[in-house]
Each structure stands twice: as C-alpha cells, then as structure tokens.
Amino acid sequence: MAHRVIASCPATPSWDQLRDRVLATPVGAKLQSEDAERAVGRGPPHRASKLRLFGAKSAETVRVTFYRDSAAWCPYCQKLWIMLEEKQVPYKIELINMRSYGDKPPAFLAKVPRGLLPALELDGKMYTESLEIMAMLDDLFSGPGHRALLPRRDSPAFAKSQQLLQLERSLFSAWCGYVFRPGTSGRAQFDKALQAVESALAENPRVPWFLDFTDGPSLVDLQYVSHVERMLASVPYWKGYDFRGSYPHIDKWLTAFEQRPAYMATKSDWYSHIKDIPPQYGPGIPVPAAAAFSAALDGADAAWHLPLPPMATSVSTFLASALLRIAKEHGSVQLNVGQVDEDGRYTGEFYTFALAGFIRNRGESDACLNRLLFEKSLLTFSK
C-alpha cells in the first residue's frame, strides 16, 4: 500500500499566517465581509448563519428559534429552513446533531424529550412537526414583507393544496418501495407517481409551481422539493435510473428552484445524499444496471480520485473560504486522511483523527496532528 508523503518543515506557515494572506486578497476580503454581515443577521442565506433578522431591530426582538441538524442534511429541516427564508421570518438558529451521529445535547432534550428535528421555538413554546410548523408560521407571519405560502382556507386552491400534499406522500412511498427493496419491481409504481406529479405541475402553465396564487414556491412546493432532491441522487445510484430529463414540467420546476437563493443555500450534492441516506433510512438495494452510476459517484471508475484537481474557475474562492473557516473556528473536528495508490487514486481506505476543541483553542493542533500522522507513517520530517 502506497502512502502520500506529507512533508513538514520550519517554513510551513501557521494557520494565522495563512489567514492573513487570504484576507489580503480580494476574495478573502469579500468572504470576511460576508462573514461580518452574517454575524449581525444580514446578507444572503447561508448554512453558517446563526441569526436572520429580515428587518427586525435586534436579536432580542426575534421570536423564533429554529433547531436544525448540524450537517444541514435533514430533509424535514430543509423544507422549514427554505420557508423561513422565503417568508422572511426573523429567526435564530441552533444546530443539533441527528441521532445517528451521536447523543443530542441535554439542554435540547430538556426542551424536546424525544429529540426530534426540526424543532421550532416560538415565544418559548416548542413545536416539532414540520408541516404543522410551516402552516402555523404562514398564518402568524402575514402581511407586508411576509409572502403567503398557503392559499386562503376557504378557496379552491387550498383544497387543491391538500390533494397535492397527499400526492407527495404517494411519491415518497413509491420511492421507498423502489429504492429500498430488491430488484426493479418498484419502478412502475415510482414512474406512475412521477407522472402524476408531472400532470399536476402541467395544470399551471403560467408558473413552474404546483399552485398559481403567489409569487414563488408555495408550502406545497417546499414539501416536495427536499425529498425529490434526494430521489434524484438515490434512484440512479441504487437503481441506475436517472429520471431528470424525462418529465419536462418536473424539470422546469427544479430549474425554477435552482434560481432561488433560499433553496440553493440548503441544497446538497449527490455524493452527500448517497452517503447520508443509509444512516437515516437504511441502505438502498442496488441492481446491476446501477453499476456505472454508483462507480462514477464513488470514484471507482476513476471519474474522480484524491487529491482532486484544482477547480479552474473557483479554486481561489474555495481555498480562501476553507482556510478562513479552519483558522477562526476552534470546535472539535474529525479528519479523515485517505490512502492512495501509486497513481494517486483514493483506495477507499482512510485513517480517522479527532482533535478536541480545547487543543485547537490552545493553538496545538498542528503539533498534535503531526504526531498522529507520524505514528501512522503518513508523515516524514525533513532534515
């Protein structure tokens, strides 16, 4: 087994020095400005935000606290997150790990004994059912500055919204019956559900959404999009069926979402989805036809390997953002160091190292990591 050799020498800059170099660049200055805006509840939506004011005078006047998963992956958290942004409800954010990633903080369990996510605290009272929370917020925050996401209760459009929400549950059930069962027998039912969704979207040719009563996606659209996003990744990976492009109105709907900053701030990637679905739902059951898709996503067909090549257009932004995060944040971290073969391709094997927050806060991370890497023969010291 070949190892990538990491050299360490006195000339290696510290994190503080790297951070200073980054901040001296236009990209670094822009990222620092964005961080400053987020710190006071302003700026565009972002997964690192802890406060969103939307015109509220101060954090002290904010009535809503949104408890979401710290990995920004939970589909039920995602739809509520998008709604808070689309509706411009001032809110605070508390990050809580999902159950499959460890015990939840005692302070959170004191408020939510079952540990359910998402959770929302409104004027000191806790709520945990995402769809009910969304309907409640739509009623509570109305008028100028707060776009309605549900039609009036006495309107035909509201009755239609209830039918569409039932259809979403049928689509979700068909997805589960297809991806999490052997073979491809569930494909027909899944296609049938997709066709029903396609037909429902086709009923409103003027807009890309399920309902035509508001300037943007409604609560119905938000209920669908988080799981459809996961279907787009999981169905090709486990069943070899890439359905995007087969349903024009669904494609138009997805494209419209991809123009919304609130959605894009919450959107994940296919690789994250296929790795995060098993701990939450259980693993999908693959079929031979999925081999090419799964190999491409896993990197088994050399479609990608570590180390990744530089990104032609965004490498400076990516590196600057990463360095700023690492240099200024002192929480506990876990690092996975992958092994590569003689050609530099990732073998699928890795070593895991954890650095406690108090070690990082004391500025001893580099020394500790060097020692850990040296013990695993992953690091050599130059003379």
Give the pLDDT confidence score for residue 42 in this predicted structure.
95
Q: Give φ, ψ of 355 to 5 degrees.
A: -120, 120
75 pLDDT exceeds 60?
A: yes
Please tell me the least confidently modeled range out of 19-23, 201-205, 236-240, 367-371: 367-371
Which domains, and CATH codes, for the chain? 6-24+306-381 (3.30.1230), 40-140 (3.40.30.10), 156-295 (1.20.1050.10)
Question: CB within 8 A of 219, min separation 6: which ones?
Answer: 83, 131, 134, 135, 138, 149, 150, 161
Tokens of 210: 């399920």
In the chain, % of residues over pLDDT 70: 81
- Predicted confidence (pLDDT) at residue 323 exceeds the cutoff of 60: no
Tally Cβ neighbours within 10 Å of residue 207: 18
Rounded-to-integer distance, Cα 279 and Cα 71, Å: 13
Task: Categorize the per-residue pLDDT at 379 as very low, low, confident or very high, splitting at 50, 70 and 90.
Answer: low
| Beta carbons within 8 Å of 303's beta carbon, 6+ residues apart | 295, 296
- The pLDDT, as a whole number, for residue 316 is 47
What's the confidence (pLDDT) of residue 321? Answer: 52
**What is the structure's pLDDT at 2?**
44
What whole-number percentage of the chain has pLDDT above 90? 62
pLDDT of residue 329: 54
Give the model's pLDDT for residue 338.
74
pTM for the model: 0.78
Query: Tell me, what's the pLDDT at 382?
Result: 46
Rounded distance, CA 186 to CA 191, Å?
9
Specify the pLDDT at position 111: 96
pLDDT per residue over 24-69, tens digit each? 988 888 889 999 999 999 999 999 999 999 989 999 999 999 999 9
Residues 304-323, mean pLDDT to the nearest whole number:
53
Q: Are 210 and 220 in contact (CB under 8 A)?
A: yes
DSSP state string for 271-330: HHHHHHHHHHH------GGGHHHHHHHHTTTSSS-SSPPPPTTTHHHHHHHHHHHHHH--
DSSP class of 102: S
Name the least confident of 71-80, 193-202, 245-254, 352-361: 352-361
Give the model's confidence band at 318: pLDDT under 50 very low, under 70 low, under 90 confident, else very high: very low
pLDDT digits (tens, 9 = 90+) for 351-365: 777 766 655 655 566
Task: Of 371, 335, 326, give the one whose Cα is nearest residue 353.
Answer: 335
Average per-residue pLDDT for the chain: 86
Structure tokens at 273: 């989805």
Does the pLDDT of residue 333 top 60, yes or no?
yes
> Per-residue pLDDT tens for 5-14?
444 444 677 8
Give the strand pairing for 346-355 and 64-69.
unpaired
User: For residue range 202-241, what is the model confidence (pLDDT) as tens digits?
Assistant: 999 999 999 999 999 999 999 999 999 999 999 999 999 9
pLDDT, average across residues 242-261: 95
Q: Is the pLDDT of residue 3 over 50?
A: no
**pLDDT tens digits, 102-143:** 889 999 999 999 999 999 999 999 999 999 999 999 999 998
